[in-house]
Amino acid sequence: MLILAVLVLPARARAWDQEADKLVARLAYERLDPPAKAKVDALLGAGAGGFKVAKTPCEAASLADGASLAVCLKDRRGADFMHNVVYDPLPICAVPPTKPPCADGRCASTALKLNIAVLKDPAAPSDAKALALMATAYLVSELHQPLHTADNNDRSGDRVRVTLPGTGNRKVSLYSVWDEDMPVSAIGDAETGLPYVRALAAVHGAEWAKGDVDSWVAETHQLAVSVVYGRLPKPPACRRLPDDVEALDRGYFGAALPLVRQQLAKAGVRLAAVLNAALD
């Protein structure tokens, strides 16, 4: 299990819509330096049938397949190494946590750093590097979903019930809105959304590529505080669920959708920066 252990994925959380993860990977691949791009292609067996994980149906032929491969592996029985890693549940209020955000430090941000280290290790086997490459692509994307870096004693918004414009009284969780509805509304799919994020990256890419995993998580966390929770009609008190169902209005979506596109563009830029540094 040593090689598979580099792909540590959050078990309790779902993923961004897979089209969002593919979009991040496609943007990043466009921005790779030629040496890094050649190594990505070699690790994934581009032109030679792709990369396949032994004894599973999981495979990837491109960096954009990383989300599908990651989810495939997460769903395999016996993959116990995935069960205890969670996204970074940083409290949205300035209240010192009573315990570390992730048990034994097993946060997704820590998992990402471990996978990046495998990519940098010249002695790591190619299979381990291929899995680390997929995990890195997946986790960089996922850690730009604001609710993957924030919590208000509400399972990162999963216990906050909201209604959406034009859907009557149908109640859904705030987490599912940001994980599923927002990316679909913001980009459609990876193909239609690519021009939007490519244009953002062209303008802001040099600035966004700066920093490291910890600073990117902290930045995304602040967006969760100021927008995801802060722009709710009645923002909840610290560590308390809202008293009523939150009715999201068009103004909320007007602020959220540009933020989603920006986060996906940032993730693509930063994934490229990580891979260029690790693989060049």
pLDDT digits (tens, 9 = 90+) for 166-178: 877 889 999 999 9
The string of pLDDT tens digits covering residues 31-78 is: 999 999 999 999 998 767 788 888 888 889 999 998 778 777 776 654
Dist. CA 4–CA 7, nearest whole Å? 6
Q: What tokens were used for 254? A: 């007007």
Q: Domain residues of the chain, as ranges?
A: 4-279
Average pLDDT over residues 86-90: 89
Supply the pTM of this predicted model.
Answer: 0.91
Is residue 10 scored above 60 in pLDDT?
no
CA distance linking residue 196 with residue 200, whole number of Å:
7
The pLDDT, as a whole number, for residue 227 is 97
Which of 150-154, 166-170, 258-262 shows the lowest per-residue confidence on average (mean pLDDT)? 166-170
Closest CA to 85 of 175, 164, 6, 194: 6
Mutual angle of helices 250-279 and 190-208, in 10-degree steps: 70
Phi, psi values for residue 230, rounded to 5°: -65, -25
**Candidates 1.10.10.60, 3.30.1370.10, 1.10.10.10, 1.10.575.10; CATH matching 4-279:** 1.10.575.10
Q: What is the pLDDT of residues 180-230, one digit of tens each?
A: 999 999 999 999 999 999 999 999 999 999 999 999 999 999 999 999 999
